[in-house]
């Protein structure tokens, strides 16, 4: 068992501070992970506010979520992060936040949210112009993470061109990217569009 690289830990801590500044990780909500060069996954430990992650607030797990150190407890949704890394070899970072727009919009029903005509759609791969749309999957939340991940994989299998993100109903957003800056860009772009959709829903 080797220690986590200091740079990876600081990358996770910095991402947590950034999400906290935008109100996306209230209380102990949310989780953040990185795929390390040696194939291990560095992920936030359970129970910490992500805006104030201590130096020992991240830990290593394998691709199936098994902790390297048996005395440490990773985030409850580690299995969802590992599912992303198993499915998408290019993914190097994953983020999960709990914003008000994602929570409210996903509670209105439906199995997806369509976003179209937004300039920030260009933050997603294969969309060079705002004249595009994405269907963001919405899945019912489940405390059984293995069962929930199986449903996520069913969505991926049914529509392999889904964007690198999805929403858990009444819970929050998952996104991933080729590195932490890319994942943060996608989360910020998506949260901006969700905030716009929520504002539009309030219009008469």
129 assigned to some structural domain = yes
Structural domain contains residue 1: no
Residue 128 has pLDDT above 80, yes or no: no
What is the number of structural domains in the chain?
1
Cα 33 to chain centroid, rounded: 9
pTM of the model: 0.93
Q: Please, which pLDDT band fits residue 116 given cuts at 50, 70 and 90?
A: very high
Domain assignment present for residue 183? The answer is yes
The strand order across the sheet containing 58-61 reads 58-61, 41-44, 31-35, 93-97, 172-177, 165-168, 133-139, 112-116
Structural domain including 106 reads 6-202
pLDDT of 50 strictly over 70: yes
Is 80 exceeded by the pLDDT of residue 156? yes
In a 13 Å sphere around the CA of 142, the CA atoms on its Cβ side amount to: 14
- Specify if 93 maps to a domain: yes
Confidence (pLDDT) at 160? 74
Q: Is 81 annotated as a binding residue?
A: no
For residues 55 and 25, the answer to whether their CB atoms sit within 8 Å is: no
**pLDDT exceeds cutoff 80 at 90:** yes
Q: What is the mean pLDDT of the chain?
A: 93
Query: In 3-state terms, what secondary structure has residue 20?
Result: helix
pLDDT greater than 80 at residue 129? no
Task: Let me know if residue 110 belongs to a domain.
Answer: yes
Give the CATH number for residue 26.
3.40.225.10
Buried b (16+ CB within 10 A) or exposed e, 34-67: bbeeeebbbbbbbebbbbebeeebbbbbeeebeb
Q: How confident is the model at residue 161 (pLDDT cuts 50, 70, 90)?
A: confident
Position 1 scores a pLDDT of 67
Residue 20 has pLDDT above 90, yes or no: yes
Confirm whether 112 is domain-assigned.
yes
Check whether 49 is labelled as a binding-site residue.
no
Would the pLDDT of 16 be above 90?
yes
In a domain, 84, yes or no: yes
């Amino acid at each position: 068992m080797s220690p986590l690289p200091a740079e990876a830990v600081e990358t996770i801590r910095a991402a947590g501070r950034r999400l906290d500044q935008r109100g996306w990780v209230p209380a102990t909500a949310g989780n953040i992970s990185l795929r390390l060069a040696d194939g291990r996954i560095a992920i936030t430990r359970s129970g910490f506010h992500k805006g104030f992650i201590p130096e020992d607030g991240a830990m290593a797990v394998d691709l199936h979520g098994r902790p390297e150190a048996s005395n440490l407890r990773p985030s409850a949704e580690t299995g969802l992060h590992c599912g992303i890394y198993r499915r998408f070899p290019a993914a190097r970072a994953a983020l999960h936040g709990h914003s008000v727009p994602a929570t409210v919009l996903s509670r209105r029903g439906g199995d997806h949210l369509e976003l179209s005509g937004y300039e920030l759609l260009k933050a997603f791969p294969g969309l060079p112009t705002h004249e595009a749309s994405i269907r963001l999957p919405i899945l019912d939340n489940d405390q059984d993470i293995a069962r929930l991940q199986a449903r996520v994989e069913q969505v991926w299998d049914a529509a392999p061109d889904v964007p690198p993100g999805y929403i858990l109903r009444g819970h929050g957003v998952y996104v991933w990217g080729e590195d932490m800056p890319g994942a943060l860009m996608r989360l910020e772009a998506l949260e901006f569009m969700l905030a716009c959709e929520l504002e539009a829903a309030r219009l008469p």
